[in-house]
Structure 1
Amino acid sequence: MTLHDEPTERDTDYRVPALQRGLSIVQMFSAAERSLSANEIAERLGVSLSAIYRIVFTLTEMGYLRKLGKNSYELGPQVLCDGFAYLASRDLADIAMAHLNALRDRTSLSCHLSIREQTDSLYIYRAFAAQRLSVNIPIGTRIPCHCTAMGRMLLSGLSPMELDRLYQHVRLDDYPPPAPKTLPELHQLLERDRERGWVLHRSDYSTAIASAIHDHRGDVVAAINLSGPEAVMDSPVARERYRESLQQCAQAISRELGARQPA
């Protein structure tokens, strides 16, 4: 079964009722109905009040609902945040496209653009270098942030407190080296990443160099990379040249987003 197939009776086994109810609750709110009581939500779902308690509590904790008074709710700021983040990411891709294509042409290496969604790095654009052994990560790919160069650049924009909240329930020891195994280790890595302004990450057959994209407030809103086969990027002189080109590209994109000075 693919995401586009019509569900069959057998496929209903794969549905997650709690997730369905959670999304249904968020969809109940509109301009005409800006707030609903817990009783109204339960009645519309056709379930008991106790059946939705954990779902409503979770949505409130995540910021998708906000509690009003004792027993009523409205949409929380996270709904708007996610919506604007998606729209902004499309504008960001449009802005970055020409810069990344030019960077690919100058270096003959693949370039990628990603944004952060929770603890994942989401790839939203790629400038693919059409040569043998090129690194080609499809648009829409999600990779845990702490495992990649771009992901670490995305995390570098968070304060220590924000990072702690983000990873308070996330296990890091299930990933192979050189990914950090603990939250303190991740903190140490990101502190060095912020000071340096870029990250180099080696895997089995390729190397990636990443830098952050900043908006008009100076916030990290995205990251870009240059990635290629290890044989091409093995020379320190070559890596330094690629790093300079990458950071110049990141600064140019940041300026178009309103950043006042290079990051």
Structure 2
Amino acid sequence: MQTFSGRSNASEPIAQDPQAPRRPARRKRQPDQAGASSPNFVDALARGLQVMRCFDPGVASLGNLELSERTGLAKSTISRIVYTLTTLGYLRYHPDTGRYSPSYGVLALGFGCLANQEVRQLARPLMETLARTTGAAVALGAFDGEAMTYIEAVHGSSALYLRLPVGYRVGMNSTMGRAYLASLPAPERAQLLQTLEPGLLPPRMVSKACREFEASGCCFGVGDWQPGIHAAAAPFATLTGEGTFVLSCGGPANILPEARLKAEIADSLSQIVHQLSPPLSRR
């Protein structure tokens, strides 16, 4: 029979009392749903990202005063934020003008995100075919917390005067934005609508988008986002599990009249979405 002395050998495992209470296994922290009110929310980081979002496509540079006006942050706070972002390589300072512009660090983050999104690779050839056959602009967008951001865009004609690039952000009152909202469960949609600028989306417009989505899987914009521009958009969950995206097709009314938009274009979008979404999410 094996006996144990009071002294333990360091090379041997220490016997554990089977009656001793076991320490529960550590679980991975799950993201909470409290948003900005959560103790895990980092205000300083949020302010820095708020500053970076001021540099929309077409905005070449901004000064401290403009950044303060756009964000509502104090100029002293802006000064500290832009100093930090410049030091880290996300902003570039122009001493001749005293203004800032995005630097190459932003590109590294953006390209890293795009390169890891399989849905872009799957959707691109389908988007090219639709753009080529319609002569319209086809875009793939994702909700970024405030608006819809284009992560892929294909233009079917060089004659299109509205050529929106990858990285362009459209408001939630756009056809793409309304399609995303219509795809959400009602409680989640109501919560998101409360965060938007008052009056941006009248209730009747949201209701119309929900009815259209329920009936056809698409939402339509007939000159209500930009005069003379028609568009259709279809939301979908991806096969790759990357989340919810919206595919849109838009262009001048002369190439996308309302009848064509709600028949041929809606059908084409539905076919593409069918190929990109998992079976359980298909309508």
Letter paired with 2:196: V
Alignment partners' CA distance in 2, 1:260 and 1:95:
19
1:192 equivalent in alignment to 2:211 = yes
How far 1:134 sits from its partner (Å)?
Answer: 5.3
Alignment of 1:23-102 (within 5 A): 86=113, 90-102=117-129
1:107 to partner: Cα distance: 2.1
Q: Is this contact kept in 2: 1:121–1:142, CA < 8 A?
A: yes
Over 3 Å counting, the alpha-carbon distance change for 1:226 and 1:3 in structure 2 is closer
Instruction: Indicate the SS of the match to 2:183.
Output: coil
> CA 1:162/1:88 → structure 2, altered by over 3 Å: closer, same or farther?
farther
Residue 73 of structure 1 is matched in structure 2 by none
2:221 to 189, 201, 217: 201
Structure 2: gaps spanning 5 or more residues: 1-54, 83-109
1:253 equivalenced with 2:272 (yes/no):
no
**Superposition CA RMSD, Å:** 3.7
**Structure 1 residue ranges, 4+ long, deviating more than 6 angstroms after superposition:** 1-5, 19-23, 217-220
Distance 1:243 1:133 in 2: 20
Q: Give the structure 1 partner of residue 138 of structure 2.
A: 111
Which letter does structure 2 place at the counterpart of 1:233?
L
Percent of aligned pairs with the same amino acid: 19
Among 146, 152, 165, the residue aligned to 1:138: 165
Q: Distance in 2 between matches of 1:239 and 1:186?
A: 17
Q: What is the alpha-carbon distance in structure 1 between the residues aligned to residue 261 and residue 179 of structure 2? A: 21
CA contact (8 A) 1:205 1:230 kept: yes
Higher helix share: 1
> Deviations along 1:110-132, whole A, 9 cap, x unmatched?
21110011231111111111242
State the partner residue of 2:185: 159
> Which residues of structure 1 form unaligned runs of 5+?
24-82
Opposite residue 150 of structure 1, the aligned amino acid is M
Provide TM-score, normalisation by structure 2.
0.55
Aligned length: 191
Q: CA deviation at 1:223?
A: 0.6
Q: Say if 1:219 and 1:195 are closer, same or farther in 2 by CA, change over 3 A.
A: farther
TM-score when normalising by structure 1: 0.59
- Kept after mapping to 2: 8 A contact 1:135/1:227: no
- Matching residue's letter, 2:263: E
8 Å Cα contact 1:112/1:126 also seen in 2? yes
Aligned counterpart, 2:254: 231
Per the TM alignment, residue 216 of structure 1 is displaced from its structure 2 partner at its CA by 4.7
